[in-house]
Chain A
Amino acid sequence: MKHLHLGEFEEVVLLTVAVLYDKAYGIAIIKEMEERLSRKVSIGALQTCLRRLEKKGFLESEFGEATKVRGGKRKRYFKVTQFGKKALDHVMESRKQLWDAIPKVAFGS
């Protein structure tokens, strides 16, 4: 299942997009990540990741309405596709398998 592979950052971004549902655009994603994960994210890092995910088919996007703020520029809203959902499931699945496979004694009790 190589094509379902997600990097750690990609996974976090994908999840955040899912969390924000229909409000997921650049700055909102960054803020959400900063708040929930207290993790500094640059616009550059996020945008490259978003575009890569879109190219792989995990995300789709469309422009919102233009507003007065942000220099009148439109926002681009991202949505997790079915395929993206599948990738996330896959990640969880594989993690879960690993967790289940840990013998009880390994972490003590």
Chain B
Amino acid sequence: MKSSDKTPTPPRFFLKFFRWFCRASFLEDIEGDLLERFEDNSKHLGIRKAKWLFAKDTILLFRPGIIKSSENYDTLNSSGMFKNYSKIAFRVFRKEKIFTGINIIGLALSLTCSLFIYLWVQNELKYNSFISDDRVCSVKSNSFYTNGNIETGSNIPAPLKTTLEEKYPVVEKAALTDWANPMIFKKETGNFQIKGIHASPEIFEIFEFSFLKGGVQRMYEHPETIAISESFAENFFGADWEKANIIGKVIYNNYNEPREITGVFANIPDHSTLRFDCVVPFELKLKARPWLQHWGNFASLMYVKIVDQIPLDEANESIRMAIIDNRPDEETTEEIFLQPFRELHLYNTYENGQVAGGRVQYVRIMSMAAVLILIIASINFMNLATARSTRRSKETGIRKTLGAFKASIRFQFLLESIFIAFFAILVAGGLVIILLPSFNELTEVNIQLNFFSAKFILISLGFSLGLGFLSGIYPAFYMASFSPTKSLKGVIKHGVNNVVIRKGLVVFQFFITIVMILGTLIIYKQLLYIQNKNIGIDKENLINVYMNDMDPAKDYLVYRDKLLRMPGIESVTTASTGLLNITNSTSDPIWDGKLENELQEFDILSTDPDFIKTSKLILKEGRNFDWSITTDTANFIINEEAAKVMRMEDPIGQDLEFWDRKGKIIGVAKDFHNHSLHTPIKPMIIRYDMPMTWLIFIRTKAGETQEALASLESLHKEFHPDREFSYRFTDDVYQWYYQSEMVVKDLALYFTIFAIIISCLGLLGLIIYSSEQRTKEIGIRKALGASVTSILQLLCKDFLLLISISLVLAIPISYFVMQHWLENFAYKTNMSWWLFAVAGAITFVISIITISGNAIRAALINPTDSLRQYE
């Protein structure tokens, strides 16, 4: 919301709305009253509350007596009919409170769901949408392995930039970057930590990030420079940085290296996959780490802008072999392709070297769920409306005899459903407002909504109008088709067709509901499986911190010895990569029996001899590394999978060579899940190579987490006084890998509950109607000696039959759908038969509870009462 330090203004939309509907002669003084009250309220209750009350007052003013009379239009017949339809509609609503209530609640719940899904989907689609065309792309690489696997990654070798720019005319500009990292700068008052990247200055031209002050030119000439974001400037130089003339000023990082500020750029949009608050030229990184210049070092990221008017396919085709054709030293298999920046958020998984989907899958599932829930609710409306149509048949009969066209009768009934949908959207809007904070928390997004904005109001109206149409169209046609002679004689019978359609709709409704129940159950079961899965290392009580500026071979050892003497710490080790998703890999290893041209990818984990102890990894054969055997740094421990792919019967003692190190396999560890459960366990080689490590893993004593954290923090202050203390629990990281699934799990649960409630509301409506219809029949049966049970059976039998049919249809469909979802995981739970039994049981129990109350009441009515009833 915009800041409103001036005099507060009331919500424009409502003011306009008021001016539109209010009688001209009343307008001035009532508007004055509204404004006076608003001014008063905003002084005493705050602007936000005042706006609310203003909106409320305006809506409460929308009543006959205040609304402009439509006298000018009254001469038109259609306006008179419109009045009549509205009047009749409201009379019907008042007369049939239960059915109106069921319809409004059902539609409101479904609209709430769909509005939420709409907001969520909009939020997802917003990502990277600040780039409007497909010219800005990220460069991805595909590695081809002998076993047929193709791995897609974002890392490319740094020399590719110059090559692409010089030899490939489709590429207009290319920029290298690295992953965003915390950078620290020295401020008078202390240290200042912020997210920054190293990147070629071209990044600003490719993404057209605009500069508020200064520019990027100087970055090309001079590497010891920095471009900072607006928020960086604000936080570092204070809110009035613009006056401070900071361009050309030199700031220092925590290593006391100077960085000259060349420009201040506008903050990167929130909804971007590429986010940073400062940029240091990539040149500087290359100077410090010359090995990055090597073609074989896939360690940089790259964004390019392709020439205008070139289709993406063509550009892709021309650069595909750029690495293979230009890498001078050796054979290589990496092909590259371009993925538009706009797609990066939603399409983030790759199969067989192509973009396969990813998050977009969930966007699709959710949109589908929204539509299905709307359909369930409109089915309620259709069923109740057509079932009760006999009650209105006399009315339509008379209208027709008096000359109404079919079209006008259709219009009348459509209008009624639109009225209902309109009430529903008011309820739904209220629910959205109340539930939005919880929804944000659940989906871990931050959707802010301006409920007074014309856009939101229009969208809501659109939703309700659409829903009114969807649910009203069939009843409208059905009602209009009555023959007046028959309906006035009162012999209207529901046609077989209508009954079949109604039953079909109930079946369809419960079919959707059961599919949702089953889907939710299976998602829950899979996530439970993930939670309880023994991944081969013990992820509880395991914390990781960063090595930061310590030298792993020297400072770390001091750090470790100190740490081990502190409370709460059991053991400590180092690693070159996170354990739950090993990010280092190579296809270089050579072993006896390797085929010629065989290309096999191995995960590489560099660590120290305490790794096995700290991670609680189980050693199957052989021995662990030994601190006292210096030559162990040349030796390896492999996992079972590695032994398998190298076809080694007895791996202990075999030779293995890569990265200029020749050594022996001294141990075989049991497989652990070195990637998320989405992918299979990969062959892995563990090396004793401390200089490569940059992460520290700490096993804490069970139940002493707080003590351990305190120990870590105090030691951190001693070793890294400049840096903020940060740490991660390994089991949190584990959860993080299944974040989207977790969100979907929660959403699925809530939407299923909504679907169940809505379907049951419909069922309730139908049972109320059918027991009402059969009051006399039940009376006669009872008078003739029927028992309560047999009457209950009579009333419920039909519905339970329909639900059984839905169940039979839903089981195979959900089986296939969920099978497809489970394909996302390499390790998955099985869909046991009892899941389907549980889903069936849930549906039946809930339906029986829904209908039995009413059915029992109907069955218990004393026949003398029901038979004496006069209508």
A interface list, Cβ under 8 A from B? 25-27, 30, 42-45, 47-48, 51-52, 63, 69-71, 73-76
Query: A27-B36, A27-B37 are contacts. A73–B28 as well, Cβ < 8 Å?
Result: yes
Q: Which of B10-60 contact A (CB under 8 A)?
A: 26, 28-37, 39-40, 56-57, 59-60
Contact A25–B61 (Cβ < 8 Å): no
Query: Per a CB cutoff under 8 Å, which of B28, B30, B39, B56 touches A47?
Result: B30
Q: Which of B62-70, B357-365, B371-379, B581-589 contacts A (4 or more CB under 8 A)?
A: B62-70
Within the complex, the shortest CB–CB distance from B142 to chain A, in Å, comes to 66
Contact B66–A45 (Cβ < 8 Å): no
Within the complex, the shortest CB–CB distance from B10 to chain A, in Å, comes to 9
Q: In the complex, what residues of A have CB within 8 A of residue B36's CB?
A: 27, 69-70
Q: In the complex, what residues of B have CB within 8 A of residue A42's CB?
A: 56-57, 60-61
| Chain A residue nearest in CB terms to B29 | A76
Contact B65–A26 (Cβ < 8 Å): no
Listed A/B pairs (12) with beta-carbon separation below 8 Å: A26-B30, A42-B56, A43-B33, A43-B60, A43-B61, A47-B33, A47-B61, A48-B64, A69-B36, A70-B32, A70-B33, A71-B32
Q: In the complex, what residues of B have CB within 8 A of residue A73's CB?
A: 28-29, 31-32, 35
Contact A74–B62 (Cβ < 8 Å): no
A70 to B32, CA, bound (A): 5
Q: Give the size category of B's interface with A.
A: 20 to 34
A44 to B40, CA, bound (A): 17
Q: In the complex, what residues of A have CB within 8 A of residue B39's CB?
A: 69-70
Within the complex, the shortest CB–CB distance from A21 to chain B, in Å, comes to 18
Q: In the complex, what residues of B have CB within 8 A of residue A70's CB?
A: 32-33, 35-36, 39
Contact B66–A48 (Cβ < 8 Å): yes
Query: A70-B33, A70-B39 are contacts. A47–B26 as well, Cβ < 8 Å?
Result: yes
Query: Per a CB cutoff under 8 Å, which of A27, A52, A76 touches B65?
Result: A52
Q: In the complex, what residues of A have CB within 8 A of residue B28's CB?
A: 63, 73-74, 76
Within the complex, the shortest CB–CB distance from A5 to chain B, in Å, comes to 18
Query: A27-B36, A69-B39 are contacts. A75–B29 as well, Cβ < 8 Å?
Result: yes
Most chain A CB neighbours (cut-off 10 Å) among B30, B31, B56, B57? B30
Contact A45–B31 (Cβ < 8 Å): no
| Chain A residue nearest in CB terms to B10 | A71
Within the complex, the shortest CB–CB distance from A85 to chain B, in Å, comes to 23
A70 to B34, CA, bound (A): 8
Query: A42-B56, A43-B57, A43-B60 are contacts. A71–B31 as well, Cβ < 8 Å?
Result: yes
Q: In the complex, what residues of B have CB within 8 A of residue A74's CB?
A: 28-29, 32
| Chain A residue nearest in CB terms to B67 | A48
Within the complex, the shortest CB–CB distance from A45 to chain B, in Å, comes to 7
Contact A47–B66 (Cβ < 8 Å): yes
Query: Per a CB cutoff under 8 Å, which of B33, B37, B56, B66 touches A51?
Result: B66
A52 to B63, CA, bound (A): 13
Contact B29–A63 (Cβ < 8 Å): yes
A69 to B32, CA, bound (A): 9
Contact A51–B65 (Cβ < 8 Å): yes
Label chain A's interface by main secondary structure: helix
Query: Per a CB cutoff under 8 Å, which of B31, B33, B34, B64 touches A25?
Result: B33
A8 to B10, CA, bound (A): 33
A77 to B421, CA, bound (A): 40
Q: In the complex, what residues of A have CB within 8 A of residue B59's CB?
A: 44
| Chain A residue nearest in CB terms to B59 | A44
Q: In the complex, what residues of A have CB within 8 A of residue B66's CB?
A: 44, 47-48, 51
Most chain A CB neighbours (cut-off 10 Å) among B29, B62, B65, B66? B29
Q: In the complex, what residues of A have CB within 8 A of residue B26's CB?
A: 47, 51
Contact A27–B33 (Cβ < 8 Å): yes
A30 to B64, CA, bound (A): 20
| Chain B residue nearest in CB terms to A46 | B33
| Chain A residue nearest in CB terms to B36 | A70
Within the complex, the shortest CB–CB distance from B320 to chain A, in Å, comes to 67
A71 to B15, CA, bound (A): 12
In the complex, given contacts A43-B30, A63-B29, A71-B31, what are 11 additional A-B residue pairs having Cβ atoms less than 8 angstroms apart? A27-B37, A27-B40, A42-B61, A43-B33, A43-B37, A47-B30, A48-B64, A52-B65, A70-B32, A73-B28, A75-B33
A70 to B29, CA, bound (A): 9
Contact B30–A75 (Cβ < 8 Å): no
Contact B29–A44 (Cβ < 8 Å): no
Within the complex, the shortest CB–CB distance from A22 to chain B, in Å, comes to 16
| Chain A residue nearest in CB terms to B32 | A73
Within the complex, the shortest CB–CB distance from B208 to chain A, in Å, comes to 43
**8 interchain residue pairs of minimum CB distance:** A73-B32, A44-B60, A76-B29, A26-B33, A44-B61, A70-B36, A48-B65, A70-B32
Q: In the complex, what residues of B have CB within 8 A of residue A45's CB?
A: 60
Within the complex, the shortest CB–CB distance from A70 to chain B, in Å, comes to 4
A30 to B41, CA, bound (A): 14
A26 to B33, CA, bound (A): 6
Most chain B CB neighbours (cut-off 10 Å) among A73, A74, A75? A73
Within the complex, the shortest CB–CB distance from A75 to chain B, in Å, comes to 6
Q: In the complex, what residues of A have CB within 8 A of residue B29's CB?
A: 25-26, 63, 73-76
Within the complex, the shortest CB–CB distance from B510 to chain A, in Å, comes to 43
Using an 8 Å CB-CB cutoff, how does the interface string of B719-756 with A read, 1 for contact, 0 for none? 00000000000000000000000000000000000000
Within the complex, the shortest CB–CB distance from B511 to chain A, in Å, comes to 45
A76 to B60, CA, bound (A): 20
Q: In the complex, what residues of B have CB within 8 A of residue A71's CB?
A: 31-32, 35
Within the complex, the shortest CB–CB distance from B94 to chain A, in Å, comes to 19
| Chain A residue nearest in CB terms to B27 | A73
Q: In the complex, what residues of A have CB within 8 A of residue B57's CB?
A: 42-44
Q: In the complex, what residues of B have CB within 8 A of residue A47's CB?
A: 26, 30, 33, 61, 65-66
Within the complex, the shortest CB–CB distance from B836 to chain A, in Å, comes to 54
Q: In the complex, what residues of B have CB within 8 A of residue A30's CB?
A: 37
A87 to B478, CA, bound (A): 53
Q: In the complex, what residues of A have CB within 8 A of residue B35's CB?
A: 70-71, 73
A99 to B35, CA, bound (A): 43
| Chain B residue nearest in CB terms to A55 | B65
A70 to B64, CA, bound (A): 25
Q: In the complex, what residues of A have CB within 8 A of residue B34's CB?
A: 43
A30 to B37, CA, bound (A): 10
Q: In the complex, what residues of B have CB within 8 A of residue A48's CB?
A: 63-66
Within the complex, the shortest CB–CB distance from A92 to chain B, in Å, comes to 27
A24 to B31, CA, bound (A): 16
Q: In the complex, what residues of B have CB within 8 A of residue A26's CB?
A: 29-30, 32-33
Within the complex, the shortest CB–CB distance from B58 to chain A, in Å, comes to 8
Q: In the complex, what residues of B have CB within 8 A of residue A44's CB?
A: 57, 59-63, 66
A76 to B59, CA, bound (A): 21
A52 to B65, CA, bound (A): 8
Q: In the complex, what residues of A have CB within 8 A of residue B30's CB?
A: 26, 43, 47
